[in-house]
């Protein structure tokens, strides 16, 4: 197994495995034998990873209709999200999958039996984790494929992404503005202090969320539990649902509330909801709490190379950089006057726990 570009302090967590078909998921070549036998050991791996919340897709040079029919006959077609079965370069297909799932390249693993295809992906997409098909059994036993916690949301992750795909189709077919479409979803967001049952998912969010994480920090279960019960901190979780189903827990905010200045140590939001217009609701709720307490409000931001959108979120919310950051660890300190806190969008119902 080759971990291209996997450096940095944050441990790699595979979110999606992209599979080749011929010689990998089944024995033989489909176009030469329409009755190719799927490999029982590979199917077992796919099902086991699905159980812990790791997604699956396909990058295969093949006939799409014939391949999907064979997968359906084997009873596994539903495991694969946004399958790319065509004659394009596999790196192109993998980029399409990453964009469709809205995840980073370093969250993908690619399994193939051909050295040429692995080399092509390694050259074009060095962050993708490469798994030669012959090393599959060893590879999936590595930490990259073993989430520390398996939550109820983990087990439902594939179904949640399938619901996202249905939403996307509904949005593409809708004739009207984006805001008018959002109003048809009947979205309901709940923000509440984290309870003990929220902590496994809260830790998972800090590990899995890269692009919409204000500092890039990860927090372990025990650390989050201590913060949750600290009189000087407030740990908030946000969940979202609409007429298509639940998105699960999609946001986390950690506030330091001691003294006259409240500080937002961490703000993160799942990439899955970035197009739903709810990204700033949790931030604005935290700002309202500080305003009601008569406190000043500051937020920490650390550039990670992937989270520029969070910096822009703060700037668009009226935050300005102030002194007091730490250049050594890249910390930027921002402050809001709390004069202009955005209202809850009209297409969203907000419940406060």
* Pair (132, 190) in one structural domain: no
Q: Of 124, 145, 166, which residue is a domain's last?
A: 145
One domain for residues 103 and 68: yes
Percent composition of the chain: helix, strand, coil (DSSP 3-state, to 5): 40, 25, 35
Q: Are residues 136 and 161 in the same domain?
A: no
pLDDT at 123: 97
- Would you give the distance in Å from CA 17 to the centre of its chain? 14
Q: Which CATH number characterizes residue 133's domain?
A: 3.40.50.1000
> Which pTM does this prediction carry?
0.76
On whether both 231 and 107 belong to a single domain, the answer is no
Sheet with 84-86, strands from edge to edge, namely 2-3, 129-132, 108-112, 16-19, 55-61, 84-86
What is the residue range of 287's domain?
A: 152-352
For residue 38, the cross-strand partners are: 26
Residues 255 and 175 in one domain: yes
- Are both 197 and 338 inside the same structural domain? yes
Contacts of 265 (CB under 8 A, 6+ apart): 215, 217, 254, 255, 256, 300
* Element of type H or E holding 102: none
Q: Do 177 and 120 belong to one domain?
A: no
Model pLDDT, residue 326: 63
Q: What is the pLDDT of residue 324?
A: 64
**Is there a single domain that holds both residue 128 and residue 159?**
no
The DSSP 8-state label assigned to residue 174 in this structure reads -
C-alpha angle with apex 198: 182 to 200, nearest 5 degrees? Answer: 110
pLDDT of residue 7: 39
pLDDT of residue 212: 86
Q: How far apart are CA 321 and CA 315, in angstroms?
A: 9
Angle at 16 between CA 12 and CA 20, to 5 degrees: 120
The CATH number of whichever domain residue 289 belongs to comes to 3.40.630.30
Q: Both 52 and 116 in a single domain?
A: yes
The pLDDT score that the predictor gives to residue 327 is 59
16 and 107 Cβ atoms separated by less than 8 Å: yes
Specify the pLDDT at position 328: 61
Distance from first CA to last CA of the chain, Å, rounded?
Answer: 46
User: Residue 137 and residue 110: Cα distance in Å, rounded?
Assistant: 14
Chosen domain end from 113, 145, 177: 145
Both structure tokens of 82: 């946004």
Residues 285 and 191 in one domain: yes
Average pLDDT of adjacent 10-residue blocks, the chain of 353 residues: 47 89 97 94 96 96 97 96 97 96 92 98 97 95 87 86 89 92 95 94 83 88 94 96 92 96 95 82 96 97 90 93 72 94 94 89
* Whether residue 23 sits in one domain with residue 121: yes
**Count of domains observed in the chain:** 2
Q: Are residues 117 and 137 in the same domain?
A: yes
Position 97 scores a pLDDT of 97
Do 216 and 222 form a contact (C-beta atoms < 8 A)? Answer: no
Query: What is the reported pLDDT for 113?
Result: 97
Last residue of a domain, one of 145, 167, 191: 145
- What is the pLDDT at residue 325? 59
């Amino acid at each position: 197994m080759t971990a291209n570009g996997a450096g940095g302090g944050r441990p790699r967590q595979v979110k999606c495995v992209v599979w080749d078909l011929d010689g990998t998921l089944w024995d033989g070549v489909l176009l030469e034998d329409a009755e190719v036998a799927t490999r029982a050991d590979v199917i077992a791996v796919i099902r086991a990873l699905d159980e812990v919340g790791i997604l699956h897709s396909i990058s295969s040079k093949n006939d799409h209709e014939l391949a999907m029919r064979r997968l359906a006959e084997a009873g596994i077609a539903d495991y694969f999200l946004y399958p790319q079965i065509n004659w394009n370069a596999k790196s192109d297909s993998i980029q399409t999958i990453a964009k469709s799932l809205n995840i980073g390249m370093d969250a993908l693993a690619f399994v193939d039996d051909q050295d040429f295809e692995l080399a092509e992906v390694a050259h074009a997409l060095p962050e993708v984790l490469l798994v030669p098909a012959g090393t599959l059994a060893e590879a999936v036993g590595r930490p990259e494929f073993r989430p520390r916690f398996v939550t109820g949301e983990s087990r439902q992750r594939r179904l949640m992404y399938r619901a996202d795909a249905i939403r996307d189709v509904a949005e593409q077919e809708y004739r009207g503005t984006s805001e008018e479409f959002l109003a048809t979803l009947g979205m309901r967001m709940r923000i509440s202090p984290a309870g003990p049952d929220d902590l496994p998912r809260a830790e998972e969010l800090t590990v899995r969320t890269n692009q919409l994480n204000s500092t890039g920090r990860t927090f372990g279960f025990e650390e989050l539990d201590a913060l949750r019960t600290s009189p000087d901190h407030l740990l908030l979780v946000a969940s979202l649902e609409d007429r298509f189903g639940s998105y699960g827990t999609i946001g986390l905010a950690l506030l330091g509330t001691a003294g006259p200045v409240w500080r937002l140590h961490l703000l993160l939001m799942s990439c899955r909801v970035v197009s739903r217009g709810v990204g700033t609701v949790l931030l604005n709720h935290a700002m309202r709490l500080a305003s009601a307490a008569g406190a000043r409000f500051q937020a920490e931001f650390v550039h990670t190379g992937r989270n520029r959108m969070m910096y822009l979120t703060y700037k668009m919310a009226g935050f300005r950089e102030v002194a007091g950051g730490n250049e050594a660890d890249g910390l930027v300190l921002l402050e809001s006057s709390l004069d202009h806190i955005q209202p809850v969008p009209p297409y969203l119902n907000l419940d406060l726990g």
